[in-house]
Structure 1
Amino acid sequence: MNVEDIPQILTTLQTGKMTLRGQFVHGSNYTFLASIVQADREYPAVYKPVRGEQPLWDFPAGSLSGREVAAFLVSQALGWQLVPPTVYRRKAPLGPGSVQFYIEHNPEYHYFSFTPEDKQRLRPVALFDLVVNNADRKGGHILVDENQHLWLIDHGICFHVEDKLRTVIWDFAGEPIPPDLLADLTRLLNELERAGDLVEQLKPYLSPAEIRALERRTRRLVENGCFPHPAASRRPYPWPPV
């Protein structure tokens, strides 16, 4: 997938004809593999209908699909292209939900089987999860496609106003954030502070308090300039870890 293909992919995910091809059975929420066709284009996609979301005590009901879209928007704003193209689609076979471009990958190759070289590529991933407050970064949620591009999936429980970060990636704790990544974070912070286009795009999916919390987390990273250590006051790892 090239960057220039993303607008076309988003349009097709949003308006193309969707056909369900199967169901992913390992997960808490109902998730389906679909194909989406428009004109001469056909894309595989992951469809997560709102009606298939299991209730959570700490996240508003029916909000997980929107958080998937918000994660894509933040990834794009950072310029890191970590989250596959994702839209919120109202007209779909099982009702409204998120629709994400499906990434072909080897499911046996994940964080716990990565080469040392691939683990060194995860600094943007660790920073992204800190920014979006990812409560469930399992090792299997990091994919590598045939072009060796890193992709991140499953962001339904992100953006909470309270600290919920649970991740397997603590490899860089205490290290300074590389200057190029710090510059990207600073640009994101400026965009959030001026309440520009990104904030308007996030409003349908996140509450005002969640958007303000996103800004605070980004500012904290920029001001501290380093990767934090795991919180000692609570469990900082997801379960199961893969």
Structure 2
Amino acid sequence: MSEAEVNRVCRAQDVPRVLRWLSEGKMREANQLGLRTSSNSTFLVSLAPNTPDAPQALLAVYKPQRGERPLWDFPDGTLCRREYAAFLVSQALGWQIVPPTVLRDGLRGFGSVQLYIVHNPEVHYFTLDERFHDQLRKMVAFDYVINNADRKGGHCIVSEDGHLWGIDHGIGFHTAPKLRTVIWDFAGEPIPEELLTDLERLYCEVESPAEPLRYALSELLSEAEINALMARLRKLLQRREYPRPGPGLNYPWPPV
């Protein structure tokens, strides 16, 4: 399958067009990705162009709801909604961590559909150098906010323009502390002021019932999960520093 240009480089200004394409493009093919031991079935699909001036199909990662493996600590059938919620939070922050994502019907029913980012699988968190530290600082704060229980090294991918993306956020937003990540480089360090400003804005948008983000999240998460999200934001804003490893499990397995 050949890919569209935005599969290689997706800029902020491309997002509205990509979201329409993900939502409206006719889905074709379904090549399964990943391992059977993962939390959900994952497929690489192509989406036919939704405009005459788009000569190539768009590649996307499709995770059907009915392919989700039951987990003891997450309600059944909610992982695809958490994928979409993670994208909405990333967009609200303006950090462009999560590739454009939608919820829609596909070849195997309702699920999440996310822009596939062309990347070198040999390049991941454990191979990154200090050039990526600023982007990683955003990712660490983001993971704490969404309570990401699965930030493996291979869930950090780099597109051709050097942008760092985070993928696989289906097991996030739990009410109990479940942060599991390989990125503890900045533990205890002050969070940069510009990131705190973004986090404060996010808190206001989640707190207010009148805000579109709050309404959208209420369609995806439980009230308790939204309250826990706000509590994590308050804690991060009060402490103004990156989280430290706590008691219990702090790292995902496998790490890559």
TM-score tier (shorter): over 0.9
How far 1:118 sits from its partner (Å)? 2.1
Q: Does 1:193 align with 2:207?
A: yes
- 2:112 is matched with 98
- 1:24 is matched with 33
- 2:51 is matched with 39
- 1:138 is matched with 152
Q: Give a deviation string over 1:221-242, Cα, whole Å, max 9, x none.
A: 01110112100x2110000000
The separation in 2 between residues aligned to 1:173 and 1:97, in whole angstroms, is: 35
The separation in 2 between residues aligned to 1:118 and 1:134, in whole angstroms, is: 20
Residue type of the partner of 1:128? F
How far 1:43 sits from its partner (Å)? 1.0
Higher mean alpha-carbon deviation, 49-58 vs 17-26, is at: 17-26
- 1:12 is matched with 21
2:241 to 221, 226, 234: 226
The separation in 2 between residues aligned to 1:185 and 1:216, in whole angstroms, is: 12
SS of 2:151's equivalent in the other structure is: coil
Q: Does 1:83 align with 2:101?
A: no
The separation in 1 between residues aligned to 2:51 and 2:22, in whole angstroms, is: 12
- 1:181 is matched with 195
The separation in 1 between residues aligned to 2:11 and 2:34, in whole angstroms, is: 30
- 1:107 is matched with 121
Residue type of the partner of 1:39? T
SS of 2:106's equivalent in the other structure is: coil
How far 1:21 sits from its partner (Å)? 4.0
For residues 43-82 of structure 1, what are the structure 2 equivalents within 5 Å?
43-82=58-97
The separation in 2 between residues aligned to 1:82 and 1:116, in whole angstroms, is: 18
Q: Does 1:202 align with 2:202?
A: no
How far 1:20 sits from its partner (Å)? 2.0
SS of 2:121's equivalent in the other structure is: coil
Higher mean alpha-carbon deviation, 32-41 vs 151-160, is at: 32-41
1:165 to 173, 179, 193: 179
Higher mean alpha-carbon deviation, 119-128 vs 96-105, is at: 119-128
Give the share of equivalent positions with the same residue, in percent: 55
The 8 Å contact of residues 144 and 243 in structure 2, kept in 1 or not, is answered as: no
Q: Give a deviation string over 1:61-112, Cα, whole Å, max 9, x none.
A: 00000000000000000010110000010x2110000000000001000011
Residue type of the partner of 1:154? D
Residue type of the partner of 2:51? A
The separation in 2 between residues aligned to 1:173 and 1:25, in whole angstroms, is: 30
Q: Give a deviation string over 1:122-174, Cα, whole Å, max 9, x none.
A: 10000000000000000000111000011110000000000000000010011
The separation in 2 between residues aligned to 1:182 and 1:26, in whole angstroms, is: 37
Residue type of the partner of 1:19? R
The 8 Å contact of residues 32 and 46 in structure 1, kept in 2 or not, is answered as: yes
The 8 Å contact of residues 111 and 119 in structure 1, kept in 2 or not, is answered as: no
Quote the RMSD (CA, aligned, Å). Answer: 1.1
Structure 2 unaligned regions, length at least 5: 1-9
Structure 1 unaligned regions, length at least 5: none
Residue type of the partner of 1:12? W
How high is the TM-score relative to the length of structure 1? 0.96
Change (3 A) 1:25 1:175: closer
The 8 Å contact of residues 168 and 237 in structure 1, kept in 2 or not, is answered as: yes
The separation in 2 between residues aligned to 1:102 and 1:93, in whole angstroms, is: 17
